[in-house]
Amino acid sequence: MTPKAVQDGRGDAETTALRVRDIQKHYHEGATRHPVLDSVGFDVRRGECVALLGRSGSGKSTLLNLLAGIDRPDAGRIELLGEPLSELMEPALTLLRRRHIGFIYQFFNLIPTLTVAENLALPLELNGLGPRERQPRIQTMLERLGLENRAETFPDQLSGGEQQRIA
């Protein structure tokens, strides 16, 4: 997981969306210290697509939680869009996540009491968009997902694939 930009040192602030340097993360179980990530580093350029692969327990979820600012590393530095995550307080981290980070979890975490359209509207509303601005975006999302006829459906009435697309 070392993109070419890191290997040859060409990563720069204008093209780098994510910069990770010497990340370390350990978990403690009693007196035992378990290293999960040790000196992880890479860059991801804007528009680049990266897959994170590894065996169960290798630290994939831990790394994603660090990259999203959900957890903090024991050592190292993570910059997202030039913002050093370790220097941001929780309100700023929350705003950065809401505006620039998206996760699709294995279990899709849709709100079961909200319709498909309402689940799609929630992050837009949290970002300050009014109903007039939200509605066309929701319609566009539904069309792109091939689910324009499912707007008023609740998550438990969707197939697993449909839930994943909404997430």
Express each pLDDT in 1-34 by its tens digit: 333 333 334 445 568 999 999 999 998 878 888 8
* Residues 93 and 122 placed together within one structural domain of the fold: no
pLDDT digits (tens, 9 = 90+) for 40-84: 999 999 989 888 888 878 898 899 989 988 889 999 999 998 889
* Residues 150 and 95 placed together within one structural domain of the fold: no
Q: What is the pTM of this model?
A: 0.61
Task: Say if 106 falls within a structural domain.
Answer: no
* Residues 86 and 8 placed together within one structural domain of the fold: yes
Number of domains present in the structure of the chain:
2
* Residues 8 and 87 placed together within one structural domain of the fold: yes
Q: Which residues span the domain enclosing 57? A: 4-100
* Residues 142 and 60 placed together within one structural domain of the fold: no
pLDDT digits (tens, 9 = 90+) for 114-140: 999 999 999 899 888 999 999 999 999
Burial environment of residue 43 by CB neighbours within 10 A (0 to 12, 13 to 18, 19 or more):
buried
Kind of pairing, strands 16-29 and 32-45? antiparallel
CA distances from 152 to 59, 147, 167 (A): 38, 10, 15
- pLDDT at 105 (0 to 100): 64
The domain boundary residue, chosen from 50, 71, 100: 100
The domain boundary residue, chosen from 48, 70, 100: 100
